[in-house]
Structure 1
Amino acid sequence: MRITQNNRCTWYFHVRMIYSRWEQRASGTSGVIVAFSCLYRFIGSLVFHPRRTFYEYLGIRMNRRLGERSYEASFGPLGVVRTSKEDFLIKGEHMTILSGAIHYFRVVPDYWYDRLIKLKAMGLNTVETYIPWNMHEPIPGEYDFSGILDVRRFIRTAQKLGLHVIIRPGPYICAEWELGGLPGWLLHDPNMKLRSTHPPFLAAVERYFDHLFPIIAPLQVSYGGPVIGFQVENEYTYYGNDSNYMRAVHDMMRKRGVVELLFTSDGVKGLKNAMTFLPPEVILMINFQSNPDKSLAALQKFQPGRPMMVMEYWTGWFRHWNEPRPERSLSPQEAADGLKTILSMKSSVNLYMFHGGTNFGFMNGANEGDYSSYQPTVTSYDYDAPLSEAGDITEKYKMMREVILSNAPPSSLPHPLPDIPVDLPKARYGELQFTLYIPIVDTLNYFPEPVNIKYPVSMEMLSVNKGSGQSYGFILYRTVIDAGARKVTISKLRDHGVAMVNSVPVKKLTWFAEQTFLLPEDNTGGQKVLDILVENCGRTNFAKQLEFRKGILGDVLVDGVKHSSWKAYSLEFKYSFTTSIEGGGLWKRTPPSGSPGPALYKASFNIKSQPLDTFADMSGWSKGVVFINGVNIGRYWSVGPQYSLYIPAPLLRRGPNTAFSTSEIWYAYLDYGTNYCNLRNLADGAGITTATYGFTEHTSDDVCTQYSSHNCEKY
């Protein structure tokens, strides 16, 4: 077999894996094993690193192995990323890691190159990304690494640009992502304990890693790829102190072929505990936004004689719904000054975020300390980052770039350094006319068959998706009650919804509080249908407890009696549903006053030339989700602070396009949603202002000019 440039990474990876497993079983005969290890590494060096000498491997390496049976030996030879006192060694060359975070799953694949070349043009040499388990294994045993989830393609794209890659594979990632990247189906187990040594949880992680690491491990630098390091779990000291759990995740990664640098990242207060969780080979890294000098001094205190790295230098911050002002962010000058201090202390750094992207679909996370403080995250993950949600260069980008070029070691800068690329053009496509609609209750036949249940249960406990439960979207509980029933009480509901009688809304429902409401008087006799529609607004991604389930979690009392005999409809709005409903025959002409209850609204528009990026201005709507050509681009909500949704051009097509929106617009039963006469106000050029990091309701005709570096084209 001829070992070519294209196949040698994978070939060498599998040979090393076979050897390391053999070494584990034969660890008792250390002399023979160490000798074979040296010979094996020398042969590998001839194939992959011909510039390295015979003397280095049979001299220095053999002495090291014969004199020290370290922890790493249990898992085979480690890779070519090393540490010195002040920086990192990659293939023997000193380097300060200058990294920026881009989450491939928040950016359409067509734009990966654009975002990565802009990262390199800023002076960065590395890209960092999380890997979301819940996207790659949406149902137990079903894996998806295609399209926007093709992490191999993303890494290869970075490599073609000469960038290194840092991977943070979880299993928990936080990231303001739904359940911190953990699959919702884990909560189908009523006894599940996340981020622990709970056997069912660890078994699920093992199965997932069995599919993930054969994709990413061959892309390590040792095998000719660009990956230089992996994070073990994520900010665990904020959550727990179980060293057995952290060691288990560490061992899973090593056993699956990870040979390069391993690290953890935590805040200053967590460093002391973090250093006790894992073997000394694992590097401690730190996360912060302010006081870089004090934070790095603390890191150096706990980890002397090793290079410092800020794994998360928070360049901005995320936003929650109904949050009038950002909790915290950094001005361009503040971000640049902090970065200058970090570099002056000879620390490596990862800008979190360099480019935030978008929480497409139902994937936004949430924060909460208790039931009363639940805060779901908005659709935009702009983060006030150097590169905006739409990929535009900002003033923060320019100022931080100047700091990097003036203060980072010249040898660590990209060579040659690209010029700053131009921003992608934007377009306005005019006002869309939502002329067709379907009440939500009329779409139920397009969803899976309902589940018959005695009493309401959370969506995770439904016997759907091959018995693993429902993870995202909406759930509709339906039952029949006496026509004369007057009072309904729901003891616990998460997160948001509406109660309807015979398809007519009677009460808005919100999270956590007990819901008691009166039904309209009905003296006709007989029975009526009670529907309770509940939305999962995003599971908590950062809290001491994560096992929060969605839907109705307590009893439903009708006139004081616990009511039984329900049907539960799982409304997940999967792509198969959205594409089938678009062409369905149930659409009706939208009445002037709109639908009295939750509904889907549909519009069609034509693009005559190559599609360009645009924005959907939802400021005249109440609450719902927008779909473009069957793709869920995210949630909107009239409470703000985000009123416009980013639509990247690759989701559009030349010629006919379809948009439809779910909407919770109804009459005076609600305290908002009074603009039901203006259902057609899906405008075009609205954007997000990153100058003040606010999501503004835009009224100017020149919004594309106002929030972009160049004019919109109008068609």
Structure 2
Amino acid sequence: MKNTIEIAGKDILINGVATQIRSGAMHYFRIHPDYWRDRLMKLKQCGLNTVETYFAWNFHEPREGEYDFSGWRDVVSFIKLAQELGLMVIARPGPFICSEWDFGGIPSWLLSKPPMRIRCMNPVWLEAVDRYFATILPMLHGLQWTQGGPIIMMQIDNEYGSVGNDVEYIRHLYQLHIDAGFDIPMFISDSISSTTALSGGIPETLLTGNGRRRPVNFLNTIQALRPGVPEIVMELWSGVSHKWTQSGWLTHDPEDVRVDVESLMERKASFNFYMFHGGTSFGYYPGAVSDGSKYLPYLNSYDTDAPLDEAGNPTEKYFIIQSVIKKHCPEAFTEEPKLIPARDFGRVNLAESAPLLENLQLLGRSVDSVTAEPMEYYGQDFGFILYSTDLSYLPRRICSLKLENLADRAQVFVDGVSYGTIYRNDASQSIQVPTGKIQILVENMGRFNSGMGVHMHFWKGLTGVVMDGCRRLYHWTVTPLPFDDLSALPFGSLVSQGNMPCFHRGVFEVDEPADTWLRVPYGRKGQVWLNGFNLGRYWQEGPQYALYVPAPLLKQGRNELVILELHGLRGEPIVELIDHYDRAPSIALPLN
């Protein structure tokens, strides 16, 4: 008999039976594939019957027209594994996902295509979007519930009504799914109001709500807008994301979550925890947000104070949710989840070093550029970029350099000497330096992933440099530095580099791989690679002081660790592998 899913008034009928969807969000791209089964099983053991996941477009099409759905990117295998474990799936393929992920999942190579305007009926944007969906929808078609697969619902874009009003665009995306043979319910999710519903929804899609605390209020709003439709909280925010330089580690009171879940279970409404397990935004993938005046980049940790922590272990919230579900739904499957222990592997001595500026030609290909342009102009997506120009033809004197549209953090060197750092949040974007050979190293710390209605400048690097307030500087040598491959670096004996950027390398032995946490106790700011894998950044500003290392990234036997320290180590050249997270003290999320 063919599987069916139908909307009958407020009921979601799955194979003819009114079903409450109890879902949790976890993203395949934030979990090592060796741990997919563990995390999915723990979701089921909590009493949930559905897993929800975004699809990160930029994770699958890092270069235009070059798609990758293998290994860690094999979302089809993730979905099939969920089905094997008896879970239904809610798919949210984008093209925009927000999710505190770089550019909301949009590939940054699109920024090199003028006149690019994202998330609307702009022809240049639509060409790329249509090609993406023409690739991914056929892969998902046979995984629909009605085709014998586990996918019961699909989302159209994400929280669109909060940032735009191109309903024609939403209808275009909807029609792509219909033309591809999708016959399962489709929905929009947003902070529900009449404005967001009218700006970002169409009658053919279900309305679902996002938020925390008193979620029944979202449902009441949905009923006022569309009486008699299913009640679904698509994002029940059970935690909070974290940003660099924030004071403390924000937490969401578990008792608040208990109250929210109780209210939804009593109402027999469907819901999806965002996040149930956050995982990790490895490498350069964390996004950024603005508070209206400041740029706020997200951490690599996407722990989000979720029911399952970053390492996949249950928190107090997990057991609260499990008990509330069991109370209202005794037939729900629940089970004690298995803990994953972490190990302390001790210290790793960083016995070798390689200065960055002395090894540029081994790390990136330089190009001559009349003007200083953003990294996307040079075909670069992530990492660092170096702008060099020679002012030594001028008399030796102090001059002022203003960096235009700095994104995000620059170190300025003259004749191989550091003269300071400028961050895009600084009140002044100028620096006083002597004339000479100028080098400006810019770090991309993540593109905006939200606020798409107001942000228009998503490019990274610089758009120009002005000297003494009046003279634009031309003729640059630009070196993109994504640091995708560090194997050519000629490491030698450790030599102090002062406050200059320098790579440091250490090796260590592992008898049996296990989860661990990596911290650079005397680091100021930098990036970490383990066995060639980009773990992410560290910054003494906090609030994250240790990076999560899943066991599958370690090798039995010899392991190699490389860090890029941007400002010189403050003490011993060591890295520590510890058995616990290290972060700023917890502070409670303020009440709304």
**1:318 aligned residue (237, 241, 253):** 241
Indicate the residue corresponding to 1:709 in structure 2.
Answer: none
Aligned pair in 2 of structure 1 residues 459, 95: CA closer, same or farther (>3 Å)? same
Contact 1:629/1:652 (8 A) holds in 2: yes
CA contact (8 A) 1:318 1:326 kept: no
What corresponds to 2:467 in structure 1? 557
List gaps (5 residues or longer) in structure 2: none
Q: Tell me, in whole angstroms, the C-alpha distance in 2 between the residues paired with 1:298 and 1:455.
A: 52
Check whether the contact 2:249–2:543 (CA below 8 A) recurs between aligned residues.
no
Aligned counterpart for 1:351 among listed residues 265, 273, 279: 273
1:613 aligned to 2:515?
A: yes
Letter in 2 for 1:645: L
1:333 aligned counterpart, secondary structure: helix
Q: How does 1:210-229 map to 2 (within 5 A)?
A: 210-229=134-153
Q: Which residue of 2 aligns with 1:684?
A: 578
Structure scoring higher RCO (CA < 8 A, sep ≥ 6) equals 2
Cross-structure match for 1:486: 398
Identity of aligned residues (%): 37
Q: Relative to structure 1, is the Cα distance of residues 619 and 303 closer, same or farther in structure 2, using a 3 angstrom cutoff?
A: farther
1:405 aligns with 2:309: no
Question: Retained in 2: the 8 A contact 1:100–1:124?
Answer: yes
Listed one character per residue, the Cα deviations across residues 667-698 of structure 1 (whole Å, up to 9, x for unaligned) are xxxxxxxx53222143423415799479xxxx
Contact 2:544–2:584 (Cα < 8 Å) also in 1:
no
For the structure 1 residues 451 and 689, does the alpha-carbon distance in structure 2 shift closer, same or farther, using more than 3 Å as the test?
closer
SS in 2 for 1:482: coil
Q: Which residue in the other structure is 1:249 paired with?
A: 173
Which runs of at least 4 in structure 1 moved beyond 6 Å after TM superposition? none
**What's the counterpart of residue 590 of structure 1?**
494
Structure 1 portions without partners, runs of 5+: 1-47, 50-78, 463-468, 523-527, 667-674, 695-715
Report the CA distance between 1:279 and its aligned residue. 4.2
Alignment match of 2:73 (pick from 144, 149, 159)? 149
Report if aligned partners of 1:615, 1:644 keep a CA contact under 8 Å in 2.
Answer: yes
Which residue of 527, 534, 546 corresponds with 2:442? Answer: 534
Q: CA deviation at 1:442?
A: 2.6
What letter matches 1:446 in structure 2?
Answer: L
Contact kept, 8 Å, 1:485 with 1:558, in 2: the verdict is no
Deviation at 1:514, TM superposition (A): 4.2
* TM-superposed deviation, 1:479: 1.4
- In the alignment, which residue of structure 1 is the partner of 2:566? 664
2:229 paired residue number: 306
Greater helix share, 1 or 2? 1
- Decide whether aligned partners of structure 1 residues 177 and 276 sit closer, same or farther in structure 2, where only a CA change above 3 A counts: closer
What amino acid sits opposite 1:652 in the alignment? L
- The question of 1:297 aligning with 2:220 is answered yes
> How big is each residue's C-alpha offset from its partner over 1:343-394, in whole Å with a ceiling of 9 and x where there is no partner?
1122100000000000101000111155x31100111000000000000111
Q: Deviations over 1:529-570 (max 9, x none)?
A: 211000110000111234321111233326853221111111
Cα offset, 1:451, TM superposition? 1.9
Report the 3-state secondary structure (helix = DSSP H, G, I; strand = E; otherwise coil) of the residue aligned with 1:446.
helix
Tell me what 1:698 maps to: none
CA contact (8 A) 1:449 1:569 kept: yes
The residue identity in structure 1 corresponding to 2:493 is R
1:601 aligns with 2:515: no
Q: Which moved more, 1:345-354 or 1:613-622?
A: 613-622
Distance 1:506 1:148, change over 3 A: same
Q: CA deviation at 1:342?
A: 1.4
**2:276 matched to 1:374?**
no
Q: Which residue of 2 aligns with 1:121?
A: 45
Q: Which amino acid is 1:336 matched to?
A: R
Q: 1:353 to 1:433 in 2, by over 3 A?
A: same
Question: 2:249, 2:586 within 8 Å by CA — same for their partners in 1?
Answer: no
Note if 1:636 corresponds to 2:538.
yes
Q: Counterpart of 2:579 in structure 1: which amino acid? A: G
Q: Provide the rounded CA distance (Å) in 2 between the counterparts of 1:82 and 1:275.
A: 24
Q: Does 1:545 align with 2:454?
A: yes
DSSP 3-state at the match of 2:219: helix
Q: CA deviation at 1:277?
A: 4.8
Cα distance in 2 between the residues matched to 1:341 and 1:248: 36
Which of 306, 309, 318 aligns to 1:385? It is 306
C-alpha separation in 2, matches of 1:276 and 1:518:
48
User: Counterpart of 2:28?
Assistant: 104
SS at match of 1:284: strand
Kindly name which structure, 1 or 2, has the bigger radius of gyration based on alpha carbons. Answer: 1
Structure 2 counterpart of 1:285:
208
Which shows bigger deviation, 312-321 or 450-459?
A: 450-459
Deviation, 1:259, is 1.6
Question: Which of the residues 352, 358, 367 maps onto 1:436?
Answer: 352
Q: Which moved more, 1:99-108 or 1:396-405?
A: 396-405
1:265 aligns with 2:196: no
Could you tell me how far apart the structure 1 residues matched to 2:401 and 2:195 are?
48
Alpha-carbon distance in structure 1 between the residues aligned to 2:325 and 2:179: 37
Correspondence for 2:98? 174
**Is residue 617–residue 685 contact of structure 1 (8 Å, CA) maintained in 2?**
no
**Where is the strand percentage greater, Structure 1 or Structure 2?**
2
Please report how far the alpha carbon of residue 290 of structure 1 lies from its aligned counterpart in structure 2 after TM superposition: 1.2
The 5 Å alignment of 1:406-555 reads: 406-408=327-329, 410=330, 413=332, 417-462=333-378, 469-482=379-392, 484-492=396-404, 493-511=406-424, 513-520=427-434, 528-543=436-451, 544-547=453-456, 548-555=458-465
The answer to whether the 8 A contact 1:355-1:389 is kept is yes
Per the TM alignment, residue 256 of structure 1 is displaced from its structure 2 partner at its CA by 2.0
When normalised by structure 1's length, the TM-score is 0.78
8 Å Cα contact 1:594/1:677 also seen in 2: no
2:258 counterpart residue number: 336
Task: Report the Cα offset of residue 120 of structure 1.
Answer: 0.2
Task: Output the amino acid matched with 2:449.
Answer: N
Q: For 1:276 and 1:540, locate their aligned partners in 2 and report how far apart those are by CA, in whole Å.
A: 22
Give TM-score scaled by structure 2 length: 0.94
Cα pair 2:33 2:72 within 8 Å, conserved:
yes
Does the aligned pair in 1 maintain the 2:161–2:200 contact within 8 Å?
no
Matched, 1:184 2:108: yes
Deviations 1:155-176 (A, max 9, x none): 0110110000000011000001
The 10-residue stretch of structure 1 (684-693 or 128-137) with the greater mean CA deviation from structure 2: 684-693
Deviation digits for residues 52-101 of structure 1 (CA, Å, limit 9, x no counterpart):
xxxxxxxxxxxxxxxxxxxxxxxxxxx82212333311122221000000
Deviates more, 1:624-633 or 1:287-296: 287-296
Matched, 1:364 2:267: no
C-alpha distance in 2, partners of 1:232/1:452? 43
Mapped to 2, the partners of 1:356 and 1:601 lie a distance apart of 30
